[in-house]
Structure 1
Amino acid sequence: MGEKSEANSVAPSARGSLHEHHHHHITPLKEKKFRWRVTDEHSPPEIYNWTLYLSVFVFGILGSARGYDEGNISGTVAQTSFIKEFGLKSASLTATQQANLKSNITSMVQLGSIGGCILAMYTVDRFGRIRTLQGVCVLWIIAAIIQCTSHSVGQLYAGRLIEGFAIGQTTTIGPTYLSEVAPKAIRGLCGCIFAGAVYFGIMLAYFANYGTALHVVGRNQWVIPTTIKCVLAFLILVGSTIVCVESPRWYMKIGNPEMAAKNLSKIRNLPVDHPYILSEIADINEQVNLEKHETEGTTIISMIKEIVMTKSIRYPFFAIAFMAQVLGQWSGANAITIYSPQLMSLVGITGVKSLEMTAVLGVVKFVSAYLAAFFLIDFLGRRRSLYIGISIQLITILYFAIFLTVVPQAAEKGAVLTHSQDMAGKAALAALFLSGTGWTMGFNSIQYLLGSELFPLRIRSFAQSLVMVIHFANQYGNSKALPKMLLAMNNFGAFYFFVGVMAISLCWVYFFIPEVSGRSLESIEEIFSLPWYVIGRRGAELCPDHSEVNRVSYNVEGTGNAHGGDIDYETKPTAEFVENASNEGLMKSDSQSLEK
């Protein structure tokens, strides 16, 4: 608290000098695109700039790594050349053995991703967000080359396992970086850029599979789509080298306040001595110094112990992040993504036509994911977005299950359906598409976002990595289980199971999910000190945001303030107000500023 108090004790004299000598009329600025969605009374317009947008874009598009593999493998295992080369329909295998072989191939990346998430617990904090991203891109390229040159199932397994080590790390790197650099008013949007990019990758893979199924014969049917992974990895690698700025919060965490202030100035497009920069640095600095005192000599064991024993971390980890992964993965959405050609055959769509429909599904999910990112997650908030998304997903999956129950013969080859059955089948296909819309609005929007914003800085990357371990463990189990669930539960039974999970999810949102949109990262932990039964329903109301950056305000008439509402500030640097971060991270005023 001392650092923050010292900063505030110095500020009045500097503020008084500014108030006395500098009153400037600020010409109203043109309103930013999409800025009507959220109310941001605490930020100068300069913080929404191309340096921020490009950094968010590169780390956001990283989500396509996971998405491209899911979409790619779903079509690859349906390609005739791949089935023949790796014996997916070998006469020597029983139906159960064939299902096991297919699920092993598809789920190997999820298994590797568990290891990648564990590795990210170390790499993201040790090497920084950008360096870790670049290492992941190199590993991703190597894994793709191994897969493309595979002629045996063993080598294919190895390539996909290594790719999992890369993809597992992306789910920690991307959300952590985005939550740390994003202005609080659009933090949900920036986090959802990553979540939406998953479906950009899926859509791209679906179209690649569909195109090669139409125009390519032989082994290249599945090799060409797989090589696109190398292109994606290379472009992200180049982008991170040229346009990205390392996270200021990471620099503060490793004890480099000068670089933290410099990078925050770049990302916010404001001078280092600007009141907004000083306030944000003060908030980060206070939390870092407090956490250093509390976590001296921290080890992995002590961090796990803190997750279990500290209420303000235990609640968001187990009641929110953990449950979001379990309920989200077993709602069936990712199983539908991975096995979409097989599921479409249940309503009578087979062959190349099923790949065409998966491409349409990819477009639907991609568009709805970014509609949710730009128009829902910050505007309506986390809770309402979840309610809407889960409700849509529940209703559509329920219809699909009912169709499979009433018209089971639609899955039979050459089945002749009545007109009403045929129309109901088309509606079931549409329901499958709409379930993807519900997923992207609900669980997909928050499964990465909540883990990256609910935990304090001292444990953020570790906790996010642990959450992603849970994510991929459940996705691995789900992708392994679905083929067997369809066999054992007469197809429709699996979807009734998913409906039950979503009904539980609606109750979970009501009791456990607090609304944190628009809050600074440093203010969120306070919510979890409340009794558990009010956190979800009234947490934000009972614990308002009192962070320093929340006390800074801006408006185009020039009556914004730095702290207490008594000064105007310029949008350009001024000689009368200069503050620096010392090596110890303490906020001190320049002596010349005090003399004036």
Structure 2
Amino acid sequence: MAGGVKKPVNVFKLKNLGEPKEVFNWKLWFAVFSFGLLGAARGVDEGLISGAFNSKDFQRSIHYSSYTKVEQANIKANVSAMVQIGSVGGALIAFLICDRIGRIWATRQLCLVWIVGIAIFMGANGNLGAVYAGRFIAGLGVGQTPVVGPVYIAEIAPASVRGLCTCIFTGFVYLGIVLAYFTNYGCQVNMGDTTHARWLVPTSLHVIFAGLIFFLTFFQYESPRFLVKKGRPDKALQVMSRLRKLPEDHDYVVREINAITVSHQAEMEATRGAGWLGVVKELFLVPGNLYRLCLTLGAQVMSQWSGAGSITLYAPDLFSLLGITGNNETLLVTAVFGIVKLIAAVLCALFLVDVIGRKRALLIGISLQALAMLYVAGFLTAVPELGVETGYKLTTSEIGPSKGAIAMIYVSGFGWALGWNSMQYLLTAELFPLRIRALSTSLAMTFHFANQYGNSRAVPNMLLPVSSGGISPKGTFWLFAAITILGAVWVWFFIPETAGRSLESMDRLFSLPWYKIGRYGNMDAAQQDAAYSEKQAEAEATMGATTHLEERRASDERV
């Protein structure tokens, strides 16, 4: 099985896929930037809500102090996680909207839903029910972003930079987090903790980003692959020509559109043009598609329960738990944490995901994350009073390890940005055939938000002492460490490498039995690529010979 195809000697090199230099033009990058901004939807919310909730004015408006400790933990978890539960519904309906009205109009409507939800939240005036409702409605919009954004980007990006382009979406997640963290910090320092503007001003970042994305859609083209799917190949050719900045009759453009069209026709022929039920059957009854779905769903479970997403959401609380004192200091350390994750996302996009491949980048990130979780879990085991005894002061001998634990939170964020948080979107967007891409991505992101909701909702209660029904801080981080290590083993055995492969050739990775795909799928696909290239060359040679013979006969007849 392993014989025949050798691995490239230098893995630190982008694959040369013969793409003309005109392909990498400003229209491509402008489109990637515009749809990458959708990533900021989650980042802004994750970075803002904890700081906004912790402001004394917001807590006073909902009469937070009148509740018991357990009730307070439940309220904080509900307010923080309500966007995630709304996002479950948003991700679930995203494929219907995306496939019915297209990627452009899907983006416009989700921006409007997002704005309406945030407006209700900002105008709740202390009504806890309105706070929940506003964040739930905002989640219906936010939940569509990881379906629409990565799918559109993957569908327009050339194969050699598809990983980089899709990771730009992830980069904007962290840009949103950084802006949210620093806005929280700036408002805390300059507006005080008791003013109404303290949490309203940062929350307005939602409206700014949603409005900007809505505006930018009017300068973008619909996805050529969506146009092919809707039976508009001429329009698809025109759009692809503009995106690639090449003439419509250029070999590269024609070849790309032909590959998309042939692939879609083969999918339609296989399902005999069946409707939505046929799409569902194709996803669940075709073994290769079902395996891909299991991969993406497994990625959501492993990534969300590795704990890094909860660390982002509850970063101020966790830094306080590990020894940072003072609200201003906590928010500043949290803001720097956002910068670390942004840098990691940029490094992953520019130097790793299309250079050393998806799988290697993912394993590096998971390894860093596991190391960090083990250290923090060990520290909290050595100092079990933290998070259990109110007002506990670190001893002189505990201050150094405490700083190490804080540093490891940064390491975990760096590893998360390099690994799971980039790959959970990228793999989901590029693995599936065109006909079922929106549905499968929608299901994966529904599962993503369901797990994110469960994790973010559970963590405040998990951090409570065992006597209060929690598993304590040390138990929480030991659980995160165990799941992170399990995720590394799972990735090693089951996820194939997809870097440098066109969307239309992904099927070749999944022709082996499921238990061999992760280890041998790439080598088998490479052999299929070579065989396909040989057949294509033979067909072209035969066609050329036939054409030459016909021209010669025509010439003889004229003579």
State whether TM-score is above 0.5: yes
Give the alignment partner of residue 399 of structure 2, picking from 422, 428, 432: 422
Q: Which has the higher helix share?
A: 2
Residues 1:520 and 2:498 are matched in the alignment? no
Aligned equivalent of 2:110:
136
Aligned equivalent of 2:347:
371
Please give the alpha-carbon distance, in whole angstroms, between the structure 2 residues aligned to 1:299 and 1:157: 37
Matches within 5 A, 1:294-333: 294-296=270-272, 298-318=274-294, 320-333=295-308
Aligned equivalent of 2:82:
108
The amino acid that maps onto 1:100 is N
Structure having greater relative contact order (Cα 8 Å, sep ≥ 6): 1
Aligned residues: 518
- What is the deviation of 1:546? 6.5
Give the alignment partner of residue 530 of structure 1, picking from 491, 504, 512: 512
Aligned equivalent of 2:124:
150
Aligned equivalent of 1:47:
23
Give the alignment partner of residue 450 of structure 2, picking from 453, 460, 473: 473
- Identify unmatched segments of 5+ residues in structure 2: 1-11, 465-469, 543-559
Aligned equivalent of 2:49:
73
Aligned equivalent of 1:241:
218
Please give the alpha-carbon distance, in whole angstroms, between the structure 1 residues aligned to 2:541 and 2:378: 60
- What is the deviation of 1:547? 7.2
Please give the alpha-carbon distance, in whole angstroms, between the structure 2 residues aligned to 1:547 and 1:241: 39
Range with bigger deviation, 288-297 or 345-354: 288-297
Matches within 5 A, 1:277-356: 277-296=253-272, 298-318=274-294, 320-350=295-325, 351-356=327-332
Aligned equivalent of 1:120:
94
- Identify unmatched segments of 5+ residues in structure 1: 1-35, 553-560, 567-596
| Percent identity between the two aligned chains | 44
User: In the superposition, relative to structure 1, how do residues 122 and 381 fare at CA in structure 2: closer, same or farther (>3 Å)?
Assistant: same
Instruction: Give per-residue Cα distances to partners, 1:571-595, cap 9 Å, x unaligned.
Output: xxxxxxxxxxxxxxxxxxxxxxxxx
Please give the alpha-carbon distance, in whole angstroms, between the structure 1 residues aligned to 2:110 and 2:419: 28
SS of the equivalent of 1:40 reads coil
The amino acid that maps onto 2:398 is Q
Please give the alpha-carbon distance, in whole angstroms, between the structure 2 residues aligned to 1:229 and 1:302: 38
Aligned equivalent of 2:363:
387
Instruction: Give per-residue Cα distances to partners, 1:235-278, cap 9 Å, x unaligned.
Output: 11111212x22110000000001110001011111111111111
Give the alignment partner of residue 479 of structure 2, picking from 457, 479, 497: 497
| Aligned residues of 2:163 and 2:354 also touching (Cα < 8 A) | yes
SS of the equivalent of 1:538 reads helix
Normalising by structure 1, we get a TM-score of 0.84
- What is the deviation of 1:297? 5.2
Instruction: Give per-residue Cα distances to partners, 1:467-492, cap 9 Å, x unaligned.
Output: 00000000000011111111111211
Normalising by structure 2, we get a TM-score of 0.89
| Aligned residues of 2:508 and 2:528 also touching (Cα < 8 A) | no
Residues 1:455 and 2:429 are matched in the alignment? no
Aligned equivalent of 1:274:
250
Give the alignment partner of residue 214 of structure 1, picking from 177, 184, 189: 189
Q: CA RMSD in A?
A: 2.1
SS of the equivalent of 1:245 reads coil
| Aligned residues of 2:279 and 2:435 also touching (Cα < 8 A) | no
Please give the alpha-carbon distance, in whole angstroms, between the structure 1 residues aligned to 2:129 and 2:197: 19
| Aligned residues of 2:64 and 2:72 also touching (Cα < 8 A) | yes
Please give the alpha-carbon distance, in whole angstroms, between the structure 1 residues aligned to 2:450 and 2:82: 11
Residues 1:165 and 2:121 are matched in the alignment? no
SS of the equivalent of 1:206 reads helix
| Aligned residues of 1:325 and 1:474 also touching (Cα < 8 A) | yes
- What is the deviation of 1:303? 2.9
Give the alignment partner of residue 64 of structure 1, picking from 28, 34, 40: 40
User: In the superposition, relative to structure 1, how do residues 546 and 533 fare at CA in structure 2: closer, same or farther (>3 Å)?
Assistant: closer
